[in-house]
Structure 1
Amino acid sequence: MADGGGYDLLTALPDDVLRLLLARLPSTAEAARTSVLSRRWRSLWTNLPQLRFADVTDLARVAAVLRHHSAPVLLLRIESSDPAPEKIAAVLDLVAPRLQGKLHFDIITPGNQNSAAGAAGIGAAIRIPCFEKATEVTIRLLRGIGIRLPPPSGVFARLTALSLSHCRLDDQSQRDLGGAVSSEGCPSLRELRIRDADVVSNLAIRSESLRLVQLSRLEGIRQLTISAPALTELDLYACLLWGMPMVDIFAPALGTLRWVDFFRSSSVRFRAMPNVHTLAVFVMVYGYVSHSLPLLQYFTEARDVRLSLVYSSISSNDKLLVEAVKDELPAIEILFLRLLTEGHTFGP
């Protein structure tokens, strides 16, 4: 934009203002293209603190941009359909030393390319670098791609939120998942989310800082241990479907528990949970009823209770449900029952 004398008023603005304008563009690629406007604009985009890459088909281009970028990164958001493990690793290695904020790395394979593109990464493993200064890390890969965690010497000192999904924890890692997300590896971690992943058989999380843990559709767990005195919210969904996994949970500050699984209370141990006020449980009524419903005894102060009950065969043990709710939940104020039945009729 120029005035009547041909003077470029926009370029005359201070660098800080111009960078604010570039930061408002939808993607880093568009910001980089402004370098053709004039010599003054040529390097402005390389100092942007926030980088966004959408619909990336070749991660090598993202790596090329990061090599020219010189400023600390407060936000890096990547959405790509390129599952090549070596390219993913290259991008992570480039950004790790400079990331001082949030990383959102999402590998999305289009439906019409899932067999070809996805096969490129199946069976491979990516080494995750240590993000010493990052505050939030979200990585979503393809289920067949493995990740190797940093060695025990690597500490995510400032990390407060970690989300991993659609990945496989490689058994050749120098550190197991539990150790990496516990206080020794993430001393500031407050929120942990792991979804749709193949994990180690013995998952042990011991954290002084965690407030929220969400574990969903994890395969391979045979023993789950959580010791988190500050934990207030715990979600477990379809992590203990097969066999009789051992579960030991210590979370005295827990206020909300949501648990969707088929499990036996004989292999589940809760310790000191007097503050749970919201409870949501999915249980089998027949066959597993004598093991599942007694879990209610651990949550006698629960006021908001949501039970999803699967009636898979005919039995005459209905009284057990009524007695369990009446005897084990004396403080209950709200009761939500979701009944999955097979030809049953329920009366008063």
Structure 2
Amino acid sequence: MGVRSRSKSITLPRAGGGGGGADLISELSDDLLVRVLEVLPDARDAVRTHALSRRWRALWTRVAVLRFDSDTRRREFREPGGPGRFVAFVDHALALRAAEKEPALEHLEISFDLSVHEEEASSDPEQLVPPSTEAAQRWIRYAMQHEVKSLTFKVDLPLPLFNDEADDDDDFYSGNNVMTLDDLPFSSAKLETMRLNLSAVRLRLPSTAAFASLTDLSLENMEVGAGGGRLLGRLVSSACCPRLHRLRLVGLELAEMEEEEPPLLIDAGALLELLLLEFDELLFLQLRTPSLRVLHVKGCYELEELTVSAPRLEDVKFLVRQPLHIDGDLSSVARLEIELSSSQGYLGDDRNDGSIRLLECCSLIRCLEVSVDVPERKQQDVDIIKGSIPQLPHVASLKIHVTLRERRCSYAAGGIASLLA
């Protein structure tokens, strides 16, 4: 006798539980949906949710985080007129967000890349670059007026135009596009983190500013206008930023910096970490940083003199290729990273003097990391490391990275061996 099998169809309940066909997202609370919108990589996607339904219409205006990115992968930005549409979109979105007083906007991030539109800019720069600069100033003003906690602003403008028929350098080089913060309300009591990355921009720093809560500041890839050394020093000082802990100055250029000008003074009592990277025209640096723990300097190839008062300094990475005069006590430094060259090459036989001077000043270091460059040997080359390394009796950890420019480099062995002695 056969066995008759019975099959039962199983019907899963709908997401709404009542069979109404509601989707799972609609079951979420408004607060949770706002959190979802906040993590979107581009605020334009959040803004467009207003078209979904009446419930979504103003939901995005409650987000505490807005990120705008002129991603060139988006078709609407690659097309002619794309930059203008991006500016208009950001302006409109910020105006709508400003109408929603609570909850407050806490984090604003805008990335605006015009460098990919160089042809459009060069054909009629007056139609593209100045409005973009004005928009940048407008957005920074917005962040200050609405007292955000975090501001990240990155703009890449087209490179300055060059006139091949000009007779002198001033006419040949039109100069970077000028952006001024001096006439903006460039102060905030709530701002904690600020990153300004302004490529192909000459920035006029404010002469009056105050950031009582700022702990993290990064200024990148910009030219600081006349008087910038003094104004930059004021901006990062305890008088302006009494709680500043981390400072990054990357790819900066001080315009019209002359030898008779005073050094760049960083007088910051709460500063813990300082990074100087690819800083052009920086000749003299003075540090009054009683709390400083970490100092990293790389690519500041014109730096001639360092005056330092940092009794708690522990970690130093100082990559220089020229003589460096150092005035100050560095006996507190426990970890040091430097670079050396095994021969003089085209830079002369004093190219290691700055690094050797650091070894002499940091005589109590326990950890040492050295990058040794071994260039192609010239007939007149001699080992400029051998015999120049001071005694370092406290070093317990030593790392040596060797870069060889040719296979046969036995002439450099003596200098490298002196590091191991």
Per the TM superposition, whether the score is higher than 0.5 is: yes
CA contact (8 A) 1:11 1:40 kept: no
Deviation sequence 1:205-243 (CA, Å, 0-9, x none): 01111100000111111211111011100001121x23x
2:65 to 39, 50, 53: 50
Give secondary structure in 2 for the equivalent of 1:279: strand
Identity of aligned residues (%): 25
Structure 1 residues 174 and 47 mapped into 2: Cα distance closer, same or farther (>3 Å)?
farther
Within 1, Cα distance between the matches of 2:138 and 2:366? 50
Deviation sequence 1:271-326 (CA, Å, 0-9, x none): 233321110112456421456414312112211112234566623655423xx34x
Within 2, Cα distance between the matches of 1:251 and 1:174? 21
The residue that corresponds to 1:122 in the other structure is: 176
1:299 to 339, 362, 378: 362
The residue that corresponds to 1:176 in the other structure is: 231
Asked if residue 107 in structure 1 is aligned to residue 164 in structure 2, the reply is no
Asked if residue 37 in structure 1 is aligned to residue 52 in structure 2, the reply is yes
The residue that corresponds to 1:68 in the other structure is: 96
Q: 1:1-348 to 2 correspondence within 5 Å?
A: 3-5=18-20, 14-55=29-70, 57=83, 58-69=86-97, 70-71=100-101, 72-82=104-114, 84-108=132-156, 122-127=176-181, 129-142=186-199, 144-152=200-208, 154-171=209-226, 176-199=231-254, 201=257, 202-239=263-300, 241-242=301-302, 245-265=304-324, 267-269=325-327, 271-284=328-341, 286=344, 287-288=349-350, 289=352, 292-310=355-373, 314-315=381-382, 318-321=385-388, 324-325=389-390, 327=391, 329-339=392-402, 345=411, 346=413
CA contact (8 A) 1:23 1:48 kept: yes
Greater displacement, 166-175 / 70-79: 166-175
Within 2, Cα distance between the matches of 1:5 and 1:236? 64
Unaligned runs of 5+ in 1: none
Greater displacement, 204-213 / 123-132: 123-132
Structure 1 residues 317 and 26 mapped into 2: Cα distance closer, same or farther (>3 Å)?
closer
Within 2, Cα distance between the matches of 1:12 and 1:309? 62
One-letter code aligned to 1:259: F
Give secondary structure in 2 for the equivalent of 1:146: strand
Within 2, Cα distance between the matches of 1:174 and 1:130? 19
How far 1:341 moved relative to its partner?
Answer: 6.4
Give secondary structure in 1 for the equivalent of 2:106: strand
Q: What's the TM-score, normalizing by structure 1? A: 0.84
CA contact (8 A) 2:43 2:67 kept: yes
Greater displacement, 202-211 / 280-289: 280-289
The residue that corresponds to 2:117 in the other structure is: none
Q: What's the TM-score, normalizing by structure 2? A: 0.70
How far 1:11 moved relative to its partner?
Answer: 5.2
How far 1:60 moved relative to its partner?
Answer: 3.1
Within 1, Cα distance between the matches of 2:190 and 2:285? 29
Within 2, Cα distance between the matches of 1:167 and 1:44? 37
Unaligned runs of 5+ in 2: 1-14, 72-82, 115-128, 162-172, 258-262
How far 1:183 moved relative to its partner?
Answer: 0.6
- Structure ID, larger Rg: 2
The residue that corresponds to 2:77 in the other structure is: none
Within 2, Cα distance between the matches of 1:218 and 1:7? 58
One-letter code aligned to 1:140: N
Greater displacement, 56-65 / 308-317: 308-317
How far 1:132 moved relative to its partner?
Answer: 3.1
Structure 1 residues 146 and 254 mapped into 2: Cα distance closer, same or farther (>3 Å)?
same
CA contact (8 A) 2:178 2:204 kept: no
How far 1:73 moved relative to its partner?
Answer: 1.9
Aligned residues between the structures = 333
